[in-house]
Amino acid sequence: MKKKLIAGNWKMNGSLAANEALVRAVVAGLPQAACKVAVCVPAPYLAQVQALCQGSALELGAQDVSRHEQGAFTGEVSAAMLADFGVRYAIVGHSERRQYHGETDELVAAKAQAALARGITPIACVGETLAEREAGQTEDVVRRQLAAVIDANRSRLGEIVVAYEPVWAIGTGRTATPEQAQQVHAALRAQLAAATPQPERIAILYGGSMNAANAASLLAQPDIDGGLIGGASLKAADFLQIIAAAG
């Protein structure tokens, strides 16, 4: 069985002092972890967290990456720059990027491609809004979002990670039920199966109000291969409990 992946998404949270305390506590609790663990941190803290992760099993991730390789793109961070700091994962297409920064399916797919070109695993996020769910469009929406990533990355599909994050569950305390999540994960797996010979190699994470209390039941679903954790990844004890549930 492949190892599960638990990735923390700190979003725009942290400080030098808070990061140090958090990462030290997570690293201290990691040795028993049977799953893969990463933290996706704000870009200015990559160097700090890289140093704190040194010699541990904790891997480093970024929350975004530019589609461009280099040049006149003020404010952007390239995949090569992330690779310079030992970054293993880059979230692409988080719903907060889609919603607040107008990121399109096409841009998200290009960002995944840029990450892969530098040996960084993209964590490609898909997910429906509450209005879309209520209109019965959930599977159409996530399939459309994933299709763009598949089309642009067909030859390297086995190297990506997908994250299903229903927008209505993010930061709301209202998590998808294990059955709701599994249903969408199964649909995503079927879509991957049509595009790659080993769809089971691709980890499909669940994200959206995952916490110490609900992690085990979500992670027990056959097509849920890990979690993308927001709020609960900022508290070492909670994050470690989720990691333990994945073991």
Residues designated catalytic:
94, 165
**Residue 160 and residue 202 in contact, taking contact as beta carbons nearer than 8 Å:** yes
Q: Which residue is nearest to ligand 13P (CB)?
A: 230
Smallest separation (angstroms) from ligand 13P to the CB of 171: 4
219 binds ligand 13P (CB under 6 A): no
**Residue 12 and residue 43 in contact, taking contact as beta carbons nearer than 8 Å:** no
Q: Which helix (H) or strand (E) holds 173?
A: none
Q: Which of 4, 9, 23, 219 binds ligand 13P (CB under 6 A)?
A: 9
Compose the 91-130 pattern: x for residues touching ligand 13P by CB under 6 A, - for all others.
---x------------------------------------
* Contact region with ligand 13P (CB under 6 A), list: 18-26, 29-37, 131-139, 230-238: 230-238
Smallest separation (angstroms) from ligand 13P to the CB of 198: 26
Sequence-distant (≥ 6) Cβ neighbours of residue 110 within 8 angstroms: 67, 152
Q: Specify the amino acid at residue 151.
A: D
Q: How far apart are CA 127 and CA 169, in angstroms?
A: 10
Nearer to ligand 13P, 19 or 175 (CB): 175
Q: Which of 229, 242, 243, 245 binds ligand 13P (CB under 6 A)?
A: 229
Closest to 109 (Cα-Cα) out of 77, 67, 78, 79: 67
Which tokens in the block code for residue 205?
A: 């994470």
Q: How far apart are CA 237 and CA 182, in angstroms?
A: 26
Q: Which of 26, 49, 146, 170 binds ligand 13P (CB under 6 A)?
A: 170
Give the binding site for ligand 13P (CB under 6 A).
9, 94, 165, 170-171, 207-210, 228-232
